[in-house]
A and B are shown apart, each in its own frame.
Chain A
């Protein structure tokens, strides 16, 4: 089934019809272990599709970055009330802008998780995509890794890139080389914080989307958990005089942030929550989310294969 051999060089061909027939694929096939990358790329591409999912959350994050950056630049050396350095002096706006902005990035991250993360796996389960995936050489672990990896990249564009941008801006605004070197540890700290936050905002919503089949119900449940149940944790902290507030994701992130940057807030939720517990809570949430996804996908992955009979 290949093109007819050209006529001998002596005579010019009078006319040729090409055989458009089917050609078998004789090339190599990618190893099964690379499937997760295909899935991750697909997840990223599909997240980018409409304007109101990734793009709107990203726009929100960009606005936050610009405002925080602008504030850092324009209002240098002004003191901010409510944020104290370890020595007890009030911090400057420039120093406080990054930690204070984390809350806003969390909001953008939550928006993203609500519109995409919390419905990803539920939507797949409902539309029969599991049959699509698992009748091929995709194993449950490839699917889980691909979804987590893809959503991690998407979420990182907000919860990691944003704070890093601000950290770099802060360094750029330093007064001297010495100052710059002293501030340099900000970068790895921001990186670590961003990674933890991204992990939480990836794994937990995905966990909810694996928990419930209906995408809308999954989104609703995630919203209830994050906003309502999370919102109840801080008052409980006050009442019970302990750190149960660490169970609220946004509070935990805040507490961790201020601890990392050696500042304290004179008011606000992060005051009441022990940072170590906050970190434990965040990592615990992430682990639970991943475990839930792995468990649910493994249980449901053979659905639909073989039909109803």
Chain B
């Protein structure tokens, strides 16, 4: 089942490029939407939310056009990055109002709103005015307005900005719970470790186009322009380096604070040789690992960040 299908989709604002010729399918699950500022993430999100119409090509959600078709829009929940809400309302009143706007019938709105608020953990504070809320509470309220009408596709733009570490863990858990219930969720964020906590499926937008999509680690494997890096922290790095320098699988050796960073195009063989070198030289290894298998490194390589130290 395809949730979102973009086909040759482009969006221009006068001369300004939003997205250019995007062809992409989203089948479900939790997906992280990444990209530098101005690359087109917000444009793509707004098109999925039905706020913008593609200038060319098509973008369908659940088989219909979100811009034109109200029935499709009712199945989508969007929590944008910036929001000026009606601060005089209480959280509950606000969520009820937004639920009504999203098509929930008047009789059921209160119940749906209370359920949504419970899902984001705001039940204690739901009768307080939004004006006095901290950033974390505002973000939770925003999420509640997006899920109140029980949509099948959720679009969250920077849902964790300004949220303190304690609340962040809680909100991440709640988003994962929503995903486990079968909702499709697209989360856009610049803070890569937040995305990593939520999912391993990503879509990278770069210069208005989809640059990469899929599992972070599979994508990493495909970037063979950049060799695999392995870091060894030990008491005598030069001894290990001496043993490894003769290996044909090691393409680069760099001495760093407290250890050794090496690059290889054949990690499998290299790990074996490292173990042999460690035992042969008799060093004590305090840390061994690859700094590459995280989203930050993948993103860097994809968007041409040049060598990170």
Query: Which A positions have Cβ atoms within 8 angstroms of B?
Result: 308-309
Contact = CB atoms under 8 A, between A and B. Distances in A.
Interface of B: 134-135, 162, 164
Contacts of B134: 308-309
Contacts of A308: 134-135, 162
A230 B162 CA distance: 48
Contacts of A309: 134-135, 162, 164
B86 to A, nearest CB: 18
7 contacts: A308-B134, A308-B135, A308-B162, A309-B134, A309-B135, A309-B162, A309-B164
A63 to B, nearest CB: 40
A308 B162 CA distance: 8
A124 B265 CA distance: 57
A309 B134 CA distance: 7
A308 B161 CA distance: 12
A308 B132 CA distance: 11
A308 B135 CA distance: 7
A309 B167 CA distance: 13
A29 to B, nearest CB: 35
Nearest to A308: B135
Contacts of B164: 309
Nearest to B138: A308
A309 B166 CA distance: 13
Contacts of B135: 308-309
A282 B87 CA distance: 40
Contacts of B162: 308-309
Closest 6 CB pairs of A and B: A308-B135, A308-B162, A309-B164, A309-B135, A309-B134, A308-B134
B125 to A, nearest CB: 17
Nearest to B135: A308
A309 to B, nearest CB: 7
A21 to B, nearest CB: 22
Nearest to A307: B162
Nearest to B136: A309
A79 to B, nearest CB: 63
B154 to A, nearest CB: 25
B217 to A, nearest CB: 35
A308 B164 CA distance: 11
A309 B162 CA distance: 9
A92 to B, nearest CB: 62
A138 B100 CA distance: 49
A308 B134 CA distance: 8
A148 B135 CA distance: 37
A38 B245 CA distance: 63
Nearest to B163: A309
B162 to A, nearest CB: 6
Nearest to B162: A308
B85 to A, nearest CB: 15
A289 to B, nearest CB: 30
A309 B164 CA distance: 9
B276 to A, nearest CB: 46
A306 to B, nearest CB: 13
B221 to A, nearest CB: 40
A308 B163 CA distance: 10
A52 B250 CA distance: 68
A22 to B, nearest CB: 23
A214 to B, nearest CB: 14
B230 to A, nearest CB: 36
B183 to A, nearest CB: 30
Nearest to B134: A309
A33 to B, nearest CB: 38
A81 to B, nearest CB: 59
